[in-house]
C-alpha cells in the first residue's frame, strides 16, 4: 500500500455498475483505495479531491452521466481525462467500434500489458458482467467477449421465472443438485466455471488474469495457473493519468 502526502499528482476514479473506487496515484503507483456505494458519486468525488487538489483526474465509468457531471470534475483538477476507446492510449486498440468499448476494459488491458510485457494475455473481469478480453504480445487490444456475471445469472433465473428463488453463490457446489436450491446454485456456478475453463484450455499459452469482485471466488475453484490482480482498472487509470500528465 502506498499513501501519498501532498503534493499529490493524480486522482483516479473507477465507476462500476454497483460501486465507485477512488485513489490518488503518483506515476503508476496507487495509494489507498476507497470504495463508495452511495447515491451521490459527485459529492463523494468532490470530498475526496478536496484532500489535495490533483494535477490530473482520470475517470473510467460504465455508467452514463450527463455532461454536467464531467464538467464539474474538470473544475477539480488541472487536467481532466474521461477515458473512452477514442482517446490516445498506451496500447493499440483493434476494436472496430471504439466508441462502444467499455472504459473499464480499456484500463484493465493497459494495466495487464504493463504487468506482463510481450505476453499474450486473457483478462477475466468478474463483475455484474464477466468480460473476457484478449491482449496480444505486441500490446494490441484484440477485443473480447461479454457474458452475464455470477449475480446477474442468479437474478435472471429469479426474475424471468415464477417459482425459482433468488439465491447467492455457495461456498461448495454439488456436481448435480439434489434440491431445487442446489440445482440453481450448481447450475449457475458450474456453468460459469466450465465457461472460464473452456477459454483457459483453448488458450493454454496465454497469461490468465482474474480481476473484479468475484475473482477470488472463482480462482479458488479452478486448478489452472491464474494471476489474481486487484484494482486492475485503477492501475490502468494510473498509467493513463501519468501519460497525460507528462504530455
Instruction: For the chain, give every domain's residue range.
Output: 99-233
Can you give the pLDDT at residue 199? 97
> How many residues does the structure list for the chain?
247
Can you give the pLDDT at residue 87? 86
- 47-51, 54-58, 133-137, 174-178: range with highest mean pLDDT: 133-137
Can you give the pLDDT at residue 8? 56
Q: How confident is the model at residue 95 (pLDDT cuts 50, 70, 90)?
A: very high
Sign of CA dihedral 217, 115, 89, 29: positive
Per DSSP, the three-state class of 242 is helix
Q: How confident is the model at residue 80 (pLDDT cuts 50, 70, 90)?
A: very high
Residue 214 has pLDDT above 80, yes or no: yes
Residue 61 has pLDDT above 70, yes or no: yes
Q: How confident is the model at residue 77 (pLDDT cuts 50, 70, 90)?
A: very high
- Say whether 104 is catalytic: yes
Residue closest to 218 by CA, chosen among 246, 240, 188: 188
Question: What average pLDDT score do residues 77-85 get?
Answer: 92
Percent of the chain at pLDDT exceeding 70: 96
Q: One of 67, 88, 104, 120 is an active-site residue; which one?
A: 104
Lowest mean pLDDT among 107-111, 170-174, 230-234: 170-174
The mean pLDDT value of the chain amounts to 92
Question: What average pLDDT score do residues 25-48 get?
Answer: 92
Per DSSP, the three-state class of 170 is coil
The CATH number for 99-233, chosen from 3.30.420.40, 1.10.3720.10, 2.40.128.120, 3.40.50.2300, is 3.30.420.40
Can you give the pLDDT at residue 203? 97
- Check: CB of residue 3 under 8 Å from CB of residue 23: no
Cell, residue 73: 470534475
Residue 164 has pLDDT above 80, yes or no: yes
Higher pLDDT, 208 or 86: 208
Can you give the pLDDT at residue 9? 82
Give strand pairing partners of 23. 12
Can you give the pLDDT at residue 246? 74
Residue closest to 233 by CA, chosen among 1, 25, 80: 25
Can you give the pLDDT at residue 175? 92
Higher pLDDT, 90 or 235: 235
CB within 8 A of 128, min separation 6: which ones? 16, 17, 18, 149, 151, 152
Residue 126 has pLDDT above 70, yes or no: yes
Amino acid at each position: 500500500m502506498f499513501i501519498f502526502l501532498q503534493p499529490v499528482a493524480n486522482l483516479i476514479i473507477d465507476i462500476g455498475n454497483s460501486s465507485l473506487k477512488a485513489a490518488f496515484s503518483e506515476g503508476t503507483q496507487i495509494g489507498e483505495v476507497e470504495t463508495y456505494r452511495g447515491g451521490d458519486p459527485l459529492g463523494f468525488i468532490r470530498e475526496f479531491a478536496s484532500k489535495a487538489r490533483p494535477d490530473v483526474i482520470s475517470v473510467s465509468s460504465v455508467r452514463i452521466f450527463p455532461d454536467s457531471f464531467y464538467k464539474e470534475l474538470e473544475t477539480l483538477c488541472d487536467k481532466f481525462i474521461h477515458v473512452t476507446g477514442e482517446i490516445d492510449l498506451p496500447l493499440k486498440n483493434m476494436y472496430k467500434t471504439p466508441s462502444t468499448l467499455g472504459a473499464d476494459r480499456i484500463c484493465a488491458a493497459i494495466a495487464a500489458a504493463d504487468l506482463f510485457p510481450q505476453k499474450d494475455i486473457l483478462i477475466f473481469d468478474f463483475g455484474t458482467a464477466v468480460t473476457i478480453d484478449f491482449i496480444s504480445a505486441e500490446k494490441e487490444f484484440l477485443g473480447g467477449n461479454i457474458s452475464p456475471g455470477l449475480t446477474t445469472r442468479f437474478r435472471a433465473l429469479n426474475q424471468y421465472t415464477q417459482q425459482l428463488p433468488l439465491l447467492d453463490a455457495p461456498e461448495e457446489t454439488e456436481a448435480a443438485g439434489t434440491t431445487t436450491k442446489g440445482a440453481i446454485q450448481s447450475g449457475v456456478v458450474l456453468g460459469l466455471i466450465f465457461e472460464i475453463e473452456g477459454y483457459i484450455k483453448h488458450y493454454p499459452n496465454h497469461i490468465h488474469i482474474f480481476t473484479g469482485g468475484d475473482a477470488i471466488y472463482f480462482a479458488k475453484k479452478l486448478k489452472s495457473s491464474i494471476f489474481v490482480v486487484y484494482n486492475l482498472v485503477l492501475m490502468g487509470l494510473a498509467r493513463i493519468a501519468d501519460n497525460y500528465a507528462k504530455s
